[in-house]
Structure formats: structure tokens, C-alpha cells
Structure 1
Amino acid sequence: MAEPTATFDDYLPEALQFRSPAPLVDIGANLTHDSFARDLDAVIQRAQAAHVTTMILTGTDREHAERAVALARRYSGLYATAGVHPHDASQWSRGLENAMRELHREPEVVAVGECGLDFNRNFSSPADQERAFEAQLGLAVESGLPLFIHERDAGPRMLEMLRTWRDDIRQAVVHCFTGSRDTLYGYLDLDLHIGLTGWLCDERRGHYLRELVRDIPLTRLMVETDCPYLLPRNLPAKLKGRRHEPALLPWIVREIAHWRDTEEQKLAAATTATARAFFRLTDNAGLNDNEEVT
């Protein structure tokens, strides 16, 4: 017998039903992941109830980028990125480059990526990663779209490559930043944007980020879940299945606001204004005349 389809209110316990005081943009949501297939409508409804009004769906390869575009056409407030993750960099080819170029012309696509360097796992060799990233840097220049960057244990080499291209690239965000203080300052010196996730909520791995969040200007800071990954470890209630989703973004914003010693509403409004400017979002999904985003 098939499992019943999840409904709007049967996944998050009441203690996890947060609502942001201002509309939020989740700049990194992997809603094309198979774990969302059975209840995507409910996931999006829960996000909207939490005041997460806009979601950027991450395209990590051709298949997932095409699926992200299809979802962005289906749901209001959703957009897509299109790129090849460094884990899959060994698959880069002329044909794949042309396919990405075509995807970047779709109006739903607002960034080139997820692309970059991952010297932590090296599922593709460093040489293949650099080759694919270099090509996608060129596609960002060609398309005029910003870059959505993945970097793990590759800060020095990433900074070297970005310095070479920085004058030609409109904007770039290092999504799910987990690097060192020196790497963060290097990115900020290049006027890059920084995406923060629930990594900050992990007392084992992310505690050092709490000391750095004040150093990121609000005009450079964006927020994301990277769902279904990186479920915050300090949630006030247990979540069955432990699948992260956009409705939990307000909890991450609350944590960042705490460590920045700032008001949650101010942080929410500022990160939304920054994200909307970065991705050139012109719709007013989730906003009304009484809500400020600047």
C-alpha cells in the first residue's frame, strides 16, 4: 500500500512552526531532492506559513537544474540556479557547457552554479574541478548572471581563481560558508556575498562561525537552509525523519541575530533586501505595503 501524501500540518511539530517577522529568501533549497517528491506542495505551504516567501532552488547538474526550472515555472516565488557541482566536475564536457549556456537563458534561472571547488572529498580530481569551475566562471561573465559558489577546504585556491576573474563577474555568493576567518576576510575583500546555514547551529562544527557573523556586512549577508541537508542541531523539538526544509529558515535567522546581537526583524529584512538585489528579483512575492525590505 502506498504511503499517504503528507499534508500541510502533519510534519512539523508545533514547537517548530516558526514565523519570521519579515519575509525571507532561502537562497539555497535543494527541493529537487527525492526526499521532497511525496509532499512538495505541503513543504512549500509550510515555507509560506513561516514567511519564507522566496526560494532559490539549487541546480547541481543538468538534471537537477532542469527540474529546478520546471518547479520554478510551477510555483510562484521559486527560482533556479544552473551549474555543475565540483563533485560532478569530471563530467564536464563541451556538450554540458552548451546545455548550461541554454539553461542560463531561461528567465527562471537567476545564477550560475552550484559550482566551485571541494578539496575535502575530491569526488572529482582537483584538476577536473578547476577546469569545470573555470568554464563556469566564463559562463557567468557571458550570461551576466551572478555566481552561486561551493567551497570546501579550498579557500586559498578559490581566492586565487576569483581574483583573476573578479573584475569581469557581476556578483558572487559563497553559499553555505564554513571556512576560516582568513578565508572569510578574503571573500569580503573581493566584495563577495556570504550565505549562512544551520551549520552555525552545530555546537560541534560551527561554533567558530558564531564569532565571525558580526564581521559580515548586512549588505553582503544572505541566509539559506541547504535543505534537506544541515538540519540545525539545536532545534527546540525533535523532527521525525530529520529532513531539513525551508520552513525552518526562521530558526537559523534567529540564531544569526542572536550571535550578531541584533533584532531578528532587522536581520530578516536586511538579508531579504540583499538577496533580492543580488538575484535581481523583481516580483513582490510575499511583500506588502507595510513591510520594509531595506
Structure 2
Amino acid sequence: MDLIDIGVNLTHDSFDRDRDAVLQRARAAGVAQMVVTGASREHSPKALELARAHPGVLFATAGVHPHHAVEYTAECDAEMRALHRHPEVVAVGECGLDYFRDFSPRPAQRKAFERQLEIAAETGKPLFLHQRDAHADFMAILRGFDGRLGPAVVHCFTGTREELFDYLDRDWHVGITGWLCDERRGRHLRELAKSIPAERLMVETDAPYLLPRTLDPMPKDRRNEPAFLPHIVAELARDRGEDAAVTAARTTATARAFFRLPAPAG
């Protein structure tokens, strides 16, 4: 398989001890390219650093997750804009709204989101979006930028049928993770996955989070990693009634076009 993991938190400290081995296992599993998520002032520069150290294999996003919205100052905005001048940074985000945790006050979340949408509007880069329990405000803010934004992907989709079709009606893309494999919380996704057009569907691990619960054997440390992406693809393909090779090829082609990634060397 030639897969692209569109969302992996490789800057997470759980990878500090064996990051190179994690990358080797990913390659051995058929994960040819990965987009490293930048989600804070601390980790967005680290994502770029990793992408520059692994040209053609790793790419980065740069943004501030709603959990960290209170850190989105004028200085932070300048830092994000500087990061987006680098070609290895292929998307704006992770940005959006999260009313489930409310780790940052909602007004701060909305302001940080709007500031990052301005960056996307000015640079023309794709958006890497996060939304949880904030759908109405999320859609309202994005409607305020109608006609100014390029493509968008709602990363780690876990929402309702209504939310999914609101996104698809706006021609946005959808990222599916190992949440699909969670018999407690993700069962509804197995049915919804059939409704996502191939040209709008991408796959991701969100590692080290969201370890697929159907993985066998389970890693002893319970840490998710990009090498488990083929497992997610196999489950997704089964739900869509496709051969896994078809799902792999289509999601890879979609991701490569969305993020404007070069074909991998060799």
C-alpha cells in the first residue's frame, strides 16, 4: 500500500524515545508520507522542524488548537505567519472550536479561529479543522469567510449525520481515524462512512491518540502510531464495501491532491 497519514502528532513527547523507529515501521507498513500536526505555539515549529528533517516524507501543519486558544496573541499570530512562509507547511491548523472540553474560554476560541482563517484566506493554503460539540458556531464562523477560503478538511470526524452532510454540502473533506474501530463511540461512523465520496475522504491515525480498539495484538504501551494506518483503512474499506487496495489508492490520491504533496521518491 501507498498510504498518507494526514494527521499524526509526531512531536508528542511519547515519540521522543523512538521517533526514528516509528517512522521506519510506518514505511514498512506502506505509509509513504505523513502530515505532522502543529497544534500550538510550542509544537507547530517542532512539526516544521521534523518536516525539514525528512523531506518528501513528512510535511507539517501550523496552527493553534482551540484547547490552546488563550495563547493566540498578536505575537503568536506573527509566529504562525512566519511558519506559513515555509513550503513544508502545507495547511493552516489544527484550528477550530471545541466546546466539549472548553479548555479555553469560548470567546477566545472563536477569536483564535477567526485569526487563523484570515491566514488561510491570505495564503490560499488548505485548512486542517477541528470541531467538537460546537457545530453551529463553527459553521457560522466559516460562513463569514465564504468565497475567501481554499479547500478544508474536518480532521478526525466523529460527528453526526447532519454535521457530515453540512460539511459535504460545502465540498469539504473528511478525515477518518481509528475512532471508527471503537464499538462504544464509533459505531455510527461505520454507516456514515459509506456516504463520504471518495474524492472527499482521507485517513489518519491522530497518533499517539485514538489507538484502534480492534487492533490485535494491542501494543503494550497502548500508543497509536502511523504503522497502524493500514488497519484503519481495512476497517473503513469493509464498511464501504470496497477492497482495501481501492480505499488506499483513493484516499492517497485525494490526500496528495488536497495537500499538494509530491509523489514519494523511489
Instruction: Look up the equivalent residue of 1:97 and give its one-letter code.
Output: D
Instruction: Look up the equivalent residue of 2:26 and give its one-letter code.
Output: A
Partner of 1:237: 217
CA-to-partner distance for each residue in 1:179-222, whole Å, 9 max, x for gaps? 11001100101110000000000000000111100110010000
**2:39 and 2:63 in contact (8 A); partners too:** yes
TM-score by length of 1: 0.89
CA-to-partner distance for each residue in 1:99-124, whole Å, 9 max, x for gaps? 10010011110000000000001000
Q: How far did residue 161 of structure 1 move? A: 1.5
Partner of 2:33: 54
Aligned Cα RMSD in Å?
0.9
Residue 15 of structure 2 is aligned with which of 16, 31, 36? 36
CA-to-partner distance for each residue in 1:56-105, whole Å, 9 max, x for gaps? 00001122111111111111400000000000101111111011001001
Residue 94 of structure 1 is aligned with which of 74, 79, 83? 74
Partner of 1:203: 183
Pairs aligned (count)? 265
Structure 1 position 119 matched with structure 2 position 102: no
**1:172 and 1:193 in contact (8 A); partners too:** yes
**Equivalent-residue separation in structure 2 for 1:29 and 1:105 (angstroms):** 21
Partner of 1:181: 161
Q: How far did residue 159 of structure 1 move? A: 1.4
Instruction: Look up the equivalent residue of 2:243 and give its one-letter code.
Output: E
CA-to-partner distance for each residue in 1:145-196, whole Å, 9 max, x for gaps? 1110011111122111122213211111000001110011001011100000
Q: How does 1:135-146 map to 2 (within 5 A)?
A: 135-146=115-126
User: What residue ranges of structure 1 are gaps of 5+ in the alignment?
Assistant: 1-21, 289-294
SS at match of 2:42: helix
Instruction: Look up the equivalent residue of 2:76 and give its one-letter code.
Output: L
Instruction: Look up the equivalent residue of 1:88 and give its one-letter code.
Output: H
Residue 78 of structure 1 is aligned with which of 38, 52, 58? 58
Distance 1:214-1:205 versus aligned 2 partners, 3 A rule: same
Structure 1 position 277 matched with structure 2 position 257: yes
Instruction: Look up the equivalent residue of 2:178 and give its one-letter code.
Output: G
Structure 1 position 170 matched with structure 2 position 184: no
SS at match of 2:93: strand
Residue 4 of structure 2 is aligned with which of 25, 33, 36? 25
User: What residue ranges of structure 2 are gaps of 5+ in the alignment?
Assistant: none
CA-to-partner distance for each residue in 1:256-282, whole Å, 9 max, x for gaps? 000001111111000000000000112
SS at match of 2:209: coil
Partner of 2:138: 158
SS at match of 1:124: coil
Instruction: Look up the equivalent residue of 1:268 and give its one-letter code.
Output: A
Higher alpha-carbon Rg: 1
**1:197 and 1:226 in contact (8 A); partners too:** yes
**1:163 and 1:190 in contact (8 A); partners too:** no
Instruction: Give % identity.
Output: 57
Partner of 1:64: 43
Instruction: Look up the equivalent residue of 2:67 and give its one-letter code.
Output: H
CA-to-partner distance for each residue in 1:39-68, whole Å, 9 max, x for gaps? 011000000000101000000112211111
**2:41 and 2:71 in contact (8 A); partners too:** no
Partner of 2:238: 258
- Indicate the larger mover: 172-181 or 161-170: 161-170
TM-score by length of 2: 0.98
